[in-house]
Chain A
Amino acid sequence: NAGVTQTPKFQVLKTGQSMTLQCAQDMNHEYMSWYRQDPGMGLRLIHYSVGAGITDQGEVPNGYNVSRSTTEDFPLRLLSAAPSQTSVYFCASSYDLRGYNEQFFGPGTRLTVL
Chain B
Amino acid sequence: DAKTTQPTSMDCAEGRAANLPCNHSTISGNEYVYWYRQIHSQGPQYIIHGLKNNETNEMASLIITEDRKSSTLILPHATLRDTAVYYCIVGGNQGGKLIFGQGTELSVKP
Interface residues of chain A, those whose CB is within 8 Å of chain B, are: 4, 30-33, 35, 41-45, 48-50, 56, 58-59, 88, 90, 92, 94-96, 99-108
Q: Is the CB of A92 within 8 A of B100?
A: no
Majority DSSP secondary structure for residues of B touching A = loop
Q: Is the CB of B97 within 8 A of A33?
A: yes
| Set of chain A residues within 8 Å of B51, measured between Cβ atoms | 100
Most buried by A among B45, B85, B97, B103: B97
Majority DSSP secondary structure for residues of A touching B = strand
Q: Is the CB of A107 within 8 A of B100?
A: no
| Set of chain A residues within 8 Å of B98, measured between Cβ atoms | 33, 45, 103
Most buried by A among B85, B93, B94, B96: B96
Bound complex: CA of A20 vs CA of B23, how far in Å? 38
Contact of B93 among A33, A45, A48, A101 (CB under 8 A): A101
Q: Is the CB of B44 within 8 A of A101?
A: no
Min C-beta distance of A24 to chain B, whole Å: 14
| A88 in contact with B41 given A100-B32, A101-B93 (CB within 8 Å) | yes
Most buried by B among A4, A45, A100: A100
Q: Is the CB of B99 within 8 A of A59?
A: yes
Total contacting residues, chain B, CB less than 8 A = 24
Q: Is the CB of A33 within 8 A of B96?
A: yes
Q: List 25 A-B contacts (CB under 8 A).
A: A32-B96, A33-B97, A42-B87, A42-B100, A42-B102, A42-B103, A43-B87, A44-B100, A50-B96, A59-B99, A92-B44, A92-B96, A94-B95, A96-B93, A96-B95, A99-B93, A101-B93, A101-B96, A102-B49, A103-B46, A103-B96, A103-B98, A104-B46, A105-B44, A105-B45
| Set of chain B residues within 8 Å of A42, measured between Cβ atoms | 85, 87, 100-103
Chain B residue with Cβ nearest A47: B96
B43 CB–A CB distance under 8 Å: yes
